[in-house]
A = this chain, B = another copy of it.
Amino acid sequence: MADLGEFGLIARVAARLGAPAAPAGPGDDAAVVPAPDGRVVASTDLLAEGVHFRRDWSTAYEVGVKAAAANLADVAAMGAVPTALLLGVALPGDTPLAWVDGLTDGLREEAARAGAVVVGGDTVASTDRITLAVTALGDLRGRAPVTRAGTRPGTLVVAGPLGHAAAGLALLVAGVGELPDLLAAHRAPRPPYALGPVLADAGATGMCDVSDGLLADLGHLLGDRLGADLALPADVLLAAAGERLGFDPVGWQTAGGEDHSLLAVLPPGVVVPGTTVLGRVTDVPGIRGVSITGRTGHDHFR
């Protein structure tokens, strides 16, 4: 990679990403992205090697997917449609070119799955580890953004899995190469972005992506005023991983991060196909719950 130089690397990445969004190209200082709504939704995340991914556990393609997903889910969780990604990457000089190519491919394809394009970026030399900075932009198409502050009592739902990424990570840490769906959930989460705008249109009063774990993210939605009664569904994959590792899968469901699933509160009585009901949000502060596991029936937690 060092032989190629920064400009060579940028040209290679740009070529691999395909045609840029007109009217600005990869040689320009900045990209120009359509924002027909008149507002733009923007989110930035950093992914650090050794913290968010390991090159011996994930392919470059998977790291690209994961970096894109973490940001695209943030945009979708506001009720917006993702439009563009910008990539910043700090690379050690000995990073194989094939790794950069794989990263680029993963970002491009996951962006496309969300309806977005990679429009720009920056590469710098790093002396030690790979650091990725991804910024996602999105368009609200006239919707009000779904914010944490707007959360009201109603039905709590999730679009996408809960705890799968954490269970996959636990399997990797333990050296267990089974349950590929869980490993994939850690390496390359694939959130249901399209359900973000759908949930917003259904009247979601609060929404976020699950990046820090259900209880942590739900706590942020609820604030001091609201509470929740949870009834977590059984999950056969988590149950299998739990039996394999001797771990209660409720821990992954409640505290596992990085699923990037969409957690939303809908008005009472509203249902949205493709989502799982987790319980209800009330005006009684605190989170109370039972889990419904395949094995033991009901486990109280917290």
A residues with a Cβ closer than 8 A to B are 23-25, 27-48, 50-52, 73-75, 77-78, 80, 84, 86-90, 119-129, 131, 133, 135-138, 140, 144-145, 147-149, 207-209, 220
Contacts and interface: CB of A to CB of B under 8 A. Distances in A.
Nearest to A6: B212
A121 B42 CA distance: 9
Contact of A78 (B30, B74, B87, B145): B30
B128 A128 contact: yes
B148 A43 contact: no
Among A38, A74, A119, A135, chain B packs the most CB atoms within 10 A around the CB of A135
Contacts of A34: 38-39
- Copies of this chain present: 2
Nearest to A86: B44
Contacts of A147: 23-25, 28
B126 A48 contact: yes
A124 B130 CA distance: 13
A138 B30 contact: yes
Given A29-B207, A48-B126, 16 more contacts: A27-B149, A27-B220, A28-B145, A32-B40, A33-B40, A33-B41, A34-B39, A38-B38, A42-B137, A44-B133, A46-B90, A46-B124, A48-B124, A51-B125, A51-B126, A51-B127
A29 B209 contact: yes
A46 B122 CA distance: 7
